[in-house]
Amino acid sequence: MTYTVITGASSGIGYETALTFAEEGKNLILVARREEKLEALKKEIQNINSELDVVVRVADLSINEQVYNLYENLKEYEIDTWINNAGFGNFDSVGDQDLPKIETMLRLNNEALTILSSLYVRDYADKEGTQLINVSSGGGYTIVADAVTYCATKFFVSAFTEGLAQELEGKGAKLKAKVLAPAATETEFAERSLDVDEFSYEQAVPQYHTAKEMAAFMLDLYKSDKVVGIVDGYTYEFSLRDPIYPYASRAADSDS
């Protein structure tokens, strides 16, 4: 029995991805801070397919100790897909940022993702049919005004994952690393980024995808042989692509 791990599964893209992968017959390990949301999702999944095994793990991945503990406590499971979806954003000029919030964002968006990716690669690089999918953003390829630090965290996710994909390919590893880059998506992202209680995408955002649509794009990326699944920030069309960032191998560096 194999499992798909989804972090940040209590809402938004993570929640809908869990439902989408359940429809594909995947056993799931759901990770987030809000246990009641995870349990509600588990019930919904079991209504889709009562034969699936759904495991709930509560963790705050902005705390590194909990990141390591999560991975260690999942070693009893065979994991064929790991989706690092947990993360949040921030909209402020750099000089006006709430630094404690920024520290938490850096730990979640970058440190937790890097730790979990590294541990998963360490254990599963040579196992057939395995995938690591990290969720970045259109802001991981374009800097957005008043979201410079958030975009920088997602530039890291994109560059890290694209580089990892090519590193694994260069070593002949069986594990595939991929990055999903959504544009505006109707989730709780805006509320947390803006520190507001309510936000209407319909009223404030001229174009966006639903979380369910993004979950379908996630599945398209999962089923493809491409490294990048990205939403165009102007047309909002989704495309599957080869790595976007330049990659120089050490052999190339030594020749130059």
Q: Provide the CATH number for the domain around residue 173.
A: 3.40.50.720
**Which pLDDT value is given to residue 37?**
96
Domain of 151? Answer: 2-255
For the cut 80, the answer to whether the pLDDT of residue 164 exceeds it is: yes
Catalytic residue among 26, 154, 176, 178: 154
**Percentage of the chain exceeding pLDDT 90:** 86
For the cut 80, the answer to whether the pLDDT of residue 76 exceeds it is: yes
Q: What are the pLDDT digits (tens) for 118-162?
A: 999 999 999 999 999 999 999 999 999 999 999 999 999 999 999
**Which pLDDT value is given to residue 252?**
54
Region of 236 (left: φ > 0; alpha: ψ -120 to 50; beta: rest) is left
**Under DSSP, is residue 145 helix (H, G, I), strand (E, B) or coil?**
coil
**Which pLDDT value is given to residue 196?**
75
**Percentage of the chain exceeding pLDDT 70:** 94
Once rounded to an integer, what is the mean pLDDT over residues 206-216? 89
**Distance in angstroms (rounded) separating the CA atoms of residues 119 and 108:** 16
In the chain, the amino acid numbered 64 is N
Give one DSSP letter per residue of 35-101, joined into a string: HHHHHHHHHHHHHH-TTS-EEEEE--TTSHHHHHHHHHHTTTSEEEEEEE-------S-GGG--HHH
pLDDT band at 88 (very low <50, low <70, confident <90, very high): very high
Q: Is 150 known to be catalytic? A: yes
Once rounded to an integer, what is the mean pLDDT over residues 183-191? 74
Q: Is 154 known to be catalytic? A: yes
Catalytic residue among 15, 124, 150, 222: 150
Average pLDDT over the chain, rounded to an integer: 93
Torsion angle of the four alpha carbons 178, 174, 26, 79, in this order, in degrees rounded to the nearest 10 = -100
pLDDT band at 189 (very low <50, low <70, confident <90, very high): low
For the cut 70, the answer to whether the pLDDT of residue 188 exceeds it is: no
The total number of structural domains in the chain stands at 1
Q: What are the pLDDT digits (tens) for 7-57?
A: 999 999 999 999 999 999 999 999 999 999 999 999 999 999 999 999 999
**Which pLDDT value is given to residue 245?**
97
For the cut 90, the answer to whether the pLDDT of residue 114 exceeds it is: yes
